[in-house]
Chains A and B, each alone.
Chain A
């Protein structure tokens, strides 16, 4: 628990990425309504909330289930690696089974009633395990079973007030019918919770995307807007922290080599250890070569390097690199290089993100190259791709992993949803590779558009590719329009009139 700006304490949930969105966690000793449509991940969220409490903070929890029986919940959560039965044995987890099973006695109503029995059971379970967290999942069936909504609301309010008296932080899940619209079907939010989180499972551009949004925390700050998340088999919910990462000055003063001395010089001395370098250019111009060159330099320096290819198969990658004199297969044999090749279509973007994090956490590379991001556009929305890039680069920075990302277009980061500001906070170095047509021949041009905190070479150089790799030559002299593709040649000896066409 940590006090936030104005004194409302937060309880860190431990749900991966969520606390960054919630600016520290859920309001402590309060109940937060978690609303979502069927299949939006409410039960997983509720279970993850308790599981992370036990795993990361040693805080016992109570799961109040209205819908599925405890057996179903145990089985469901086991698929995320949560051994609920063991935690029950250890006295860290207790169920309150408020589900209504079909084989149960017939039930009739004759007169007025209260939820004192439920309140007493929750209190008893909470006191038995010493609960700091309670999850109640989910309200819809309660309203179906006890048909007077006013009574149900009143009684649930009482249950929640009881939790507050016990200083318990709780989540209460509730169904909603539409992804956008009222918070819940039963008007619960007006009665029960000052704090509302929405889970969504939306389809955008025919691509499925899960998001989480903190709608309100009474008296406590939170980030606004929707953030992508994924449900990961074996570990639970993982929220991509998205655009909330702000970048200061490079935190590492150590520079690494891009594998080409001239390119390092152009970048003002090579990227910093935690830098993100973008290499953009059209197909075949040499992006993959730049990525491989960067990794080869890492392996030569004894660093572990990871190549994540979204474009080519392993064999294609090996063959191409061999043609530039880079023996990736041999590097793999030394154990310093790992190649992961996956077509974008095999998984959702969020799943790719999580898979990459797992590989990185397992292999602990010091360098990583991702080739190429544009291939991911096939399975991602704009917003989703931006979240992916931001989440991944933030993760790499935190872990001081030098990275090179390739992209097939120069405007990947200047699309409508990604402003210039975003692009500049995302990357440290931007290298442009271009084809240039000069006097009837196609030549290659390279330019360092930006190098954070470094004095880069602003000139556009020619470069060539052969069986020994990439070679940077002289600056193109007397040409303009190289970056835009329409090259014009200054007449020999031309001078620019004062105040003339030079600007």
Chain B
């Protein structure tokens, strides 16, 4: 299992949702190389999963690991703030080289 694990709830191809997935991937690639898992849940297709997790807004990212769990709402457009909220370390030079 990867060190970093996220589940992101999106709303189809809504711009905020697409941006959030792209931003999340980019942040993870830049800071923890490949050491992350990402599950995308589309609330339009799986509203019951949104219900179980009581997700109100899209996009919502749930940080499953490392603990503690945390929810980050929004399209993660402010990279620095988003990385901090997601518990990610700063950019890692090694990732870029590999």
Q: Give me the interface of A with B, judged by CB distance under 8 Å.
A: 96-99, 104-118, 120-121, 123-125, 146, 155
Contact = CB atoms under 8 A, between A and B. Distances in A.
A108 B72 contact: yes
A116 B12 CA distance: 9
A120 B17 CA distance: 14
B47 interface: yes
30 contacts: A97-B51, A97-B54, A105-B68, A105-B71, A107-B70, A108-B85, A110-B72, A110-B73, A110-B74, A110-B82, A111-B20, A111-B23, A111-B73, A111-B76, A112-B16, A113-B58, A113-B60, A113-B75, A114-B11, A115-B57, A115-B58, A116-B11, A117-B9, A117-B43, A117-B58, A117-B60, A120-B11, A120-B43, A121-B43, A125-B51
A447 B14 CA distance: 80
Nearest to A124: B47
A124 B51 contact: yes
A107 B73 contact: yes
B70 A106 contact: yes
A112 B68 contact: no
A146 B71 CA distance: 13
A146 B82 contact: no
A162 to B, nearest CB: 12
A190 B50 CA distance: 29
A47 B12 CA distance: 33
A108 B16 contact: no
Given A110-B81, A117-B11, 12 more contacts: A96-B51, A97-B51, A98-B54, A109-B73, A110-B72, A110-B73, A110-B75, A110-B82, A110-B86, A111-B73, A112-B75, A117-B55
Contacts of A124: 47-48, 51
Contacts of B16: 111-114
Contacts of A104: 54
Nearest to B20: A111
The 4 tightest CB contacts between A and B, nearest first, are A111-B74, A116-B11, A124-B47, A111-B75
Nearest to B11: A116
Contacts of B68: 105-106
B59 to A, nearest CB: 6
Contacts of B70: 105-108
Contacts of A113: 16, 57-60, 73-75
Given A96-B51, A110-B82, A125-B51, A118 B74 contact: no
B66 to A, nearest CB: 13
B20 A146 contact: no
B75 to A, nearest CB: 4
Given A121-B50, A124-B47, A110 B78 contact: yes
Interface in B19-61: 19-20, 23, 43-44, 47-48, 50-51, 54-60
A153 B56 CA distance: 14
Contacts of A125: 51
A116 B81 CA distance: 23
A285 B23 CA distance: 88
A120 B20 CA distance: 19
Which of B9, B56, B59, B68 is most buried by chain A, counting CB atoms within 10 A of its CB? Answer: B56
Contacts of B17: 116
B3 interface: no
B54 A120 contact: no
Contacts of A105: 62, 68-71
Contacts of B20: 111
A116 B85 contact: no
Interface string B74-96: 11111001100110000000000
Nearest to B69: A105
A123 B48 CA distance: 11
Contact of B57 (A96, A106, A108, A116): A116
A116 B74 contact: no
Contacts of B43: 116-117, 120-121
A287 B48 CA distance: 67
A99 B54 contact: yes
A108 B54 contact: no
A120 B9 CA distance: 12
B71 A120 contact: no
Contacts of B82: 110-111
Given A120-B47, A121-B50, A124-B47, A108 B58 contact: no
